[in-house]
């Protein structure tokens, strides 16, 4: 068994057990017939290896896998980690699967094409993660695209959030004690100071962003029901890859699919809707409908002026 193949095995085992409990022989058959095992030229998989893999999966991903439940000899996932850890595990497994494909096949550049547009600032990720865990006061320069100014910031870092392939630092700005978000791609001259902040902030960011789309300031808005009418073509895409965790399909016709959401009608969400053009129409709330109309009219006016 190849030593550098273990992460791929873990990913395949978890994928199989998430679909249904299986016996050792069923797992062996599944793994040996997978394209990953075929590409690696692996033709055997012992029960001892499975048992060792299960122990390592438990240590690495906090997944409890057992068998012989009430006389049953099938393996099954007995317990899962809390939701946020499970989401991290899923991203980790996806990274493992992609990494394994690239490492095992040097000619991948002829077949796999990555997005060439990459956000900057990711080099700050671990430093800020360290600062959050250790309550370190952070200093940096932050660039504002709107007013084109670079300002000095002193913050208490509290969380990191991903939104549309960009990372943001969620922190308390000591200047006005306000909770703000700072794009990592606009942070310069980062300094993780040795000084710790003593304040105990009681934010529950999982709840704070539960009804959010993006990282816009939510203090001035309340989440509300939003209904979209989508063309069947676009609706199928939105159905397969939800815009938000609150998404519910409420109606379907031969030509359209209707979705309901419960979230803050932020500028970020409006921009997302506008990106679909005529394929998606907001039905409610009226306030968001009017905002969309105003934005579209202003866009049209800018073209008419030329």
φ/ψ of 226, rounded to 5, equals -125, 130
pLDDT for the residue numbered 92: 67
pLDDT band at 2 (very low <50, low <70, confident <90, very high): low
pLDDT for the residue numbered 96: 66
Residue in 230, 227, 229 with CA at minimum distance from that of residue 260: 227
User: Are 169 and 128 a contacting pair, CB within 8 Å?
Assistant: yes
Average pLDDT over residues 75-100: 67
**Mean of the per-residue pLDDT values for the chain?**
86
pLDDT tens digit string along 22-38? 999 999 999 999 988 88
Average pLDDT over residues 231-250: 93
Say if residue 172's pLDDT is above 90. yes
pLDDT tens digit string along 58-85? 888 778 888 876 667 889 888 765 555 5
**Residue 154 zone, left/alpha/beta (φ > 0; ψ -120 to 50; rest):** beta
Does the model's pTM come out above 0.75? no
Give the three-class secondary structure for 275.
coil
Alpha-helical runs (H) found in 33-167: 35-40, 47-61, 83-104, 125-133
Least confident of 99-113, 183-197, 203-217: 99-113
User: Are 21 and 76 a contacting pair, CB within 8 Å?
Assistant: yes
């Amino acid at each position: 068994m190849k030593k550098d193949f273990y992460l791929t095995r873990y990913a395949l085992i978890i994928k199989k057990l998430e679909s249904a409990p299986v016996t050792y022989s069923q797992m062996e058959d599944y793994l040996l017939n997978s394209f990953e095992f075929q590409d690696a030229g692996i033709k055997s998989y012992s029960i001892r290896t499975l048992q060792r893999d299960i122990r390592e999966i438990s240590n690495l991903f906090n997944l409890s896998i057992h068998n012989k439940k009430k006389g049953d000899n099938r393996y099954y996932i007995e317990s899962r980690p809390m939701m946020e850890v499970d989401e991290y595990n899923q991203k980790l497994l996806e990274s493992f699967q992609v990494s394994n494909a690239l490492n095992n096949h040097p000619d991948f550049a002829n077949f796999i094409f990555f997005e060439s547009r990459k956000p900057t600032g990711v080099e700050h990720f671990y430093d800020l993660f360290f600062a959050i865990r250790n309550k370190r006061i952070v200093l940096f320069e932050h660039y504002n695209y709107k007013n084109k100014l670079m300002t000095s910031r002193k913050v208490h870092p509290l969380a990191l959030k991903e939104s549309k392939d960009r990372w943001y630092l969620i922190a308390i700005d000591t200047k006005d004690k306000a909770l703000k978000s700072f794009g990592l791609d606009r942070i310069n001259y980062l300094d993780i100071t040795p000084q710790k902040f003593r304040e105990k902030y009681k934010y529950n960011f999982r709840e704070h962003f539960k009804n959010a789309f993006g990282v816009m300031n939510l203090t001035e808005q309340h989440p509300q029901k939003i209904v979209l009418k989508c063309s069947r073509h676009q609706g199928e895409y939105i159905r397969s890859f939800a815009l938000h965790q609150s998404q519910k399909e409420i109606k379907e016709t031969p030509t359209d699919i209707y979705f309901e959401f419960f979230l803050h009608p932020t500028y970020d969400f409006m921009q997302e809707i506008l990106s679909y053009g005529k394929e998606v129409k907001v039905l409610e709330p009226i306030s968001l409908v009017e905002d969309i109309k105003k934005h579209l009219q202003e866009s049209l006016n800018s073209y008419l002026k030329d």
